[in-house]
Amino acid sequence: MNQVQPHSLFTDFDIDLFKAGKHFQLYEKLGAHLIEVDGVKGVYFAVWAPSARSVSVVGDFNFWVQGEHQLNVRWDESGIWEGFIPGIDKGTTYKYKIQSNNGGLITEKADPFALYCEHPPHTASVIWDLDYKWKDSKWMEIRKDKNGLDKPFSVYEVHLGSWKRNAEGKFLTYVELADQLVSYVKETGFTHVEFMPIMEYPYDPSWGYQLVGYFAPTSRFGKPQDFMLLVDKLHQAGIGVILDWVPSHFPDDAHGLGFFDGSNLYEHPDRRKGYHPDWKSLVFNYGRNEVRSFLISNAIFWLKQYHVDGLRVDAVASMLYLDYSRKEGEWEPNIFGGRENLDTISFLIDFNEAVYANFPDVQTIAEESTSFPMVSRPTFLGGLGFGMKWMMGWMHDTLQYFAKESVYRKYHQNDITFSMTYAFTENFMLPLSHDEVVYGKHSIQGRMPGDEWQRFANLRLLYGYMFTHPGAKLLFMGSEFGQTSEWNFEGSLDWHLLQYGFHDGIKKCITDLNALYKSYPALYEKQFSAEGFEWINYSDNENSVLAYIRKGNKEKENLIVVCNMTPVVHDNYRIGLPRKGKLTEIFNSDNEEYNGSGVSNSKPIKIEATPWNGREFSAEIILAPLGISVFKFS
């Protein structure tokens, strides 16, 4: 075996961009690359370790012996160590053995840019390539139309390890999921799937949110090309793919990014900014240019190499505020005396500008739980530049309202209508996510009050309200068929429940709601604009009834929505209307097919010239118990 030979993939311009925090394709340079030099095949290695005294590549090819293959540090003070090792091939396992200038500390680190990793609990990186023949060209050509803010956006959130297990209780592979998950999502009608983090992570109970392999899909379910197949198959089925992306923190595992070269390389050196007390993890140094290049390159990597259609950015609130989960005296104000992390704000702006400059047909989505302004507004207007933001207030108020017995709801009408006072301050996505079905919160179905019939009627009503409320939609797996137990990441969803009528009815209801959402432009064309919504009546708290109009670009296609939040049937409930003609019911959550009672408006309803609710016209409709009805004009 020959020793390390001098070689570089870096140009001077690459180094300048890296140092400036503007190199957004670092994965093409750093890491391990299968190349050929002077007719000899091997691997070029490059790693950033500016505080290292020496860096060796160790692996199964040299019996993990330090010093056998020592990289060379570049002359330009970039802190990059590099070199070419001939004779190494795909599948070789390796790590970097780093001797630090800080007291000579020696550590073994996985490659931060590794494309593939050993199956946990093993921790080595694996030489790999990303060769794959994509078959999703049709999707990529029309993606902008499918991914736009004025298009239906209904997301099925999935944890790959617990969506479904095989007969032996083991994980389904990416290849198996490419068959079973794709067909299921297509059947139920969701427009997108969102995968909880699939980047390599060491600890299953973290659900993937404690990453060590930012550029490697986890080997738990297969090889990188297998994950590409899953994305490819989803695209061929017309389904978009969103990845959870975690730039907010990372674990301090010995083989990970923490104290990488004997210094605080990736994490902020000030523990008040570099350590997260909630998750006992390290926080990136967003003010360091090379770290910004690393993170933004990682975002671009998944969008480019894996054809991903969006990134949901985790825990943005924890990034934005210096005092997040910190007591007085445990944080330091910014230079203006405020609590905002100015480095983070600058980083997120750079991230969104880079993503949309390179991929204008994708979406970035912020999980941000505070009132920080203009999260989903363009950067040129002073915003952070995200495409959407999770509407955490809607989620909290809605679940709290629906958990109340119907007899008490008349005292809480303002809770369910409050969201409309701020619904258009951001491009909101309505999330009923994994966070709402763990840690003793119960499943979504388990929060519903009343007897069995009422619980499922309430659940159908909740979903109908969600799908007709302005904004994009997100539903965690299992909620679409009324899973009764909390989510357990160590097992499968309770698929056996679908043999029962109430659960099968919920699934059919969700399938029809997805079809309704996609079929009627009034539900999505102006879902982020105040022009897309108008109240008919929000003050009938005595009956706990809400009535509103959803509007699209064409007035004649507007829809009327009426929610009855109690089990009382109203045979002649009058609502004011903006025009004459007829109303035809196109959705009713009390449908017998959903295991409802079948109370409906089976025939078109004539609109009368009778003033009501401050409008010139009105009509009498039937309100089903704990039901929502959607009408079109005819």
Cα dist from 449 to 325, 402, 506, 511, 563, whole Å: 33, 8, 16, 24, 17
8 Å CB contact between 194 and 242: yes
Residue 439, in any domain of the structure: no
Alpha-carbon gap, residue 602 to 291, rounded angstroms = 61
Residues 333 and 194 in one domain: yes
Determine contact, residues 273/122, Cβ cutoff 8 Å: no
Look up residue 272 and give its amino acid.
R
Cα–Cα dist 107/96, whole Å: 8
Residues 329-373 have pLDDT tens digits of 899 999 999 999 999 999 999 999 999 999 999 999 999 999 999
Determine the Cα–Cα distance for residues 604 and 601; give it in Å rounded to an integer. 7
- Give the burial class of 205: count Cβ atoms within 10 A of its Cβ; 0-12 exposed, 13-18 middle, 19 or more buried: exposed
Same domain, 165 and 307: yes
Shared domain check, 200 and 77: no
Single-letter amino acid code for the residue at 415: D
Question: How far is C-alpha 44 from the geometric centre of its chain's CA atoms?
Answer: 34
pLDDT in tens, 94-128: 999 999 998 778 899 999 999 999 999 999 999 99
Is residue 586 situated within a structural domain?
Answer: yes
Least confident range from 186-190, 226-230, 439-443, 444-448: namely: 439-443
Which residues partner with 31 through β-bridges? 46
Q: Exposed, middle or buried: residue 381 (CB in 10 Å: 0-12, 13-18, 19+)?
A: exposed
Selection from 379, 387, 454, 341 nearest residue 155 by Cα = 387
Asked if residue 295 lies in contact with residue 21, where contact means CB atoms within 8 angstroms, the answer is no
Selection from 128, 235, 112 nearest residue 182 by Cα: 235
- The answer on 232 and 306 residing in a single domain is yes
How many domains does the chain fold into?
3
Question: What CATH number is given to the structural domain containing 33?
Answer: 2.60.40.10
Report the percent of the chain where pLDDT is more than 90: 97
Asked if 240 contacts 143 with a C-beta cutoff of 8 angstroms, the reply is: yes
Task: Using the predicted structure, report yes or no on whether residue 2 has a pLDDT greater than 80.
Answer: no
pLDDT reported for residue 430: 98
Residues 93 and 195 in one domain: no
The two beta strands, 428-432 and 472-476, are parallel
Which of 364, 391, 411 is a domain's end point? 364
Domain match, 331 and 272 both? yes
CATH number at residue 245: 3.20.20.80
Q: In terms of domains, do 49 and 197 share one?
A: no
pLDDT in tens, 140-167: 999 999 999 999 999 999 999 999 999 9
* Identified catalytic residue from 261, 314, 480, 512: 314
CATH number of the structural domain spanning residue 534? 2.60.40.1180
- Beta-carbon contacts of 281 under 8 Å, excluding residues fewer than 6 positions away, are 210, 249, 250, 251, 252, 275
Please, which contacts does 371-380 make with residues 24 or more away whose CB atoms are closer than 8 Å? 372/317, 372/320, 374/426, 375/316, 375/426, 376/426, 376/427, 376/428, 377/426, 379/349, 379/352, 379/353
Amino acid at 276: H
Does 166 lie in the same domain as 98?
A: no
- How do residues 467-505 score in pLDDT, each as one tens digit? 999 999 999 999 999 999 999 999 999 999 999 999 999
HEC letters along 281-340: EECECCCCHHHHHHHHHHHHHHHHHCCCCEEEECCHHHHHECCCCCCCCCCCCCCCCCCE
**Cβ(153)–Cβ(473) under 8 Å?**
yes
Q: Does residue 113 sit in the same domain as residue 175? A: no
Q: Is residue 569 part of a domain?
A: yes
Q: Is residue 419 part of a domain?
A: no
282 and 223 in a single domain? The answer is yes
- CB-CB contact of 8 with 74 (8 Å): yes
CA distance 540 to 570: 13
- What is the rounded CA–CA span in Å between residue 224 and residue 116? 7
Report cis status (omega within 30 of 0) of the bond before 625: no
Q: Which residues of 154-170 are buried (b: 16+ CB within 10 A; e: fewer)?
A: bbbbbbbbbbbbeeeee
- Together in a domain, 120 and 160: no
Kindly state the average pLDDT of the residues 606-627: 97
Residue with tokens 């290049």: 293
Identify the pLDDT of residue 1.
45
Q: What is the pLDDT of residue 105?
A: 82
Q: Is residue 409 part of a domain?
A: no
Work out the mean pLDDT of the chain and round it to a whole number.
Answer: 96
Catalytic residue among 367, 397, 480, 585: 367
Q: Does residue 7 form part of some domain?
A: no
Query: CA dist 409 to 324, 346, 599, Å?
Result: 34, 44, 22
**Tokens found for residue 196:** 């909880």
Cβ-contact 384, 378 below 8 angstroms: no
Domain edge (last residue) among 332, 364, 396: 364
Domain range for residue 81? 12-126
Q: Is 367 part of the annotated catalytic residue set?
A: yes
Q: Which two tokens stand for residue 407?
A: 């007899």
DSSP string of 14-82, one letter each residue: HHHHHHHT----GGGTSEEEEEEETTEEEEEEEEE-TTEEEEEEEETTTTT-TTSSB-EE-TTSS-EEE
Specify if 299 maps to a domain. yes
Distance CA 525, CA 493 (A): 34
Residue 56 lies in a domain: yes
Q: What are phi and psi of 128, to 5 degrees?
A: -150, 170
Q: What's the pLDDT tens digit per position in 555-596?
A: 999 999 999 999 999 999 999 999 999 999 999 999 999 999
314 is catalytic: yes
Residues 601 and 552 grouped into a single domain: yes
β-strands 281-282, 275-276: how paired? Answer: antiparallel
153 CB contacts (<8 Å, ≥6 apart)? Answer: 147, 191, 192, 363, 388, 429, 472, 473, 524, 527
The amino acid that residue 600 corresponds to is: S
pLDDT of residue 66: 82
For residue 362, give the amino acid letter.
V
Structure tokens at 490: 């160590």
Domain end, chosen from 364, 384, 418, is at 364
The closest of 233, 207, 234, 290 to 14, measured between CA atoms, is: 290
Reported as a single tens digit per residue, the pLDDT across 208-227 is 999 999 999 999 999 999 99
Q: Which residues pair with 619 in a beta bridge?
A: 575
